[in-house]
A = this chain, B = another copy of it.
């Protein structure tokens, strides 16, 4: 508490000379969060080559904060499963976090090919009569069956996501004979239909894992999951693939870019 603060806090104090300064008495928890966010990025980007972080004192200096604040920041990152802390050993990176590309519509194996091997465990697959909510989104008449597929997806052997997939029948049935263990659905759909995929509408949310999902993904109960719902169309516009994907939040980062003026920026 009484430890001297580094440049970050010192800087905040300097700001008393600046017109608006609503709060000079920030709590250590606020400062720790601020530092944790900066450290998180360094870690995820592999900024600490050998997987071991510098000592607390050195990190505190580098990030311009006190050792107490740095310790609390590292505790926050431990809470996220990003680092491990052992007395005598220090702070080590707990596991890799992989970037999923949001620039274009890609399957998991396609986007992570540089990071290792994606393998898919098919948990169930079959023809079902879908609820009306599914049929409507896939543009089907009432009662038309769809292929339902559920996969646990691993990267380098570690559970990454649980995917629930509804496919229109003519496109989904040929997949009964496909190598689903080693291939993205997207790639198989293009092979089966002989046409490229077009666009997908997606929503992304953060949800806590229920007990059963946590067990399937080998994550702690309540772990934050990145949940994606995605409706994918063929290039002719027909919706063929409705998916609900739960990614382990500690293993995946979505990465993309946005344009203020989409038309101007993408068509130079």
By a beta-carbon cutoff of 8 Å, the part of chain A in contact with chain B is 7-8, 10-12, 14-16, 18-24, 26-27, 29-30, 32-35, 37-38, 41-42, 44, 62-64, 76, 79-80, 97, 99, 102-105, 122-134, 145, 148, 150, 164, 173, 176-177, 186, 196-208, 210, 212-213, 222-227, 229, 235, 244, 247, 249, 252-263, 265-267
Contacts and interface: CB of A to CB of B under 8 A. Distances in A.
Contacts of A44: 203
A179 B106 CA distance: 41
Nearest to A177: B19
Best-surrounded residue of A38, A252, A260 (most CB of chain B within 10 A): A260
A62 B30 contact: no
A109 to B, nearest CB: 15
Nearest to A129: B11
A208 B80 contact: yes
Contact of A260 (B99, B105, B258, B263): B105
A256 B260 CA distance: 14
Contacts of A23: 123-124
A126 B20 CA distance: 7
Contact of A229 (B18, B21, B41, B131): B41
A39 to B, nearest CB: 8
28 contacts: A11-B126, A11-B127, A12-B124, A12-B148, A15-B126, A16-B126, A18-B176, A21-B124, A22-B125, A24-B124, A30-B150, A37-B244, A38-B131, A41-B229, A63-B131, A80-B207, A105-B259, A196-B261, A198-B265, A201-B255, A202-B255, A202-B256, A203-B255, A204-B253, A206-B224, A207-B224, A208-B208, A224-B224
A33 B148 CA distance: 14
A115 to B, nearest CB: 15
B202 A258 contact: yes
A77 to B, nearest CB: 10
A38 B146 CA distance: 15
Contacts of A130: 8, 11, 64
Contacts of A259: 104-105, 198-199
Nearest to A65: B131
Given A33-B212, A122-B22, A207-B249, A200 B257 contact: yes
Given A196-B260, A259-B104, A124 B30 contact: yes
B11 A145 contact: yes
Nearest to A178: B20
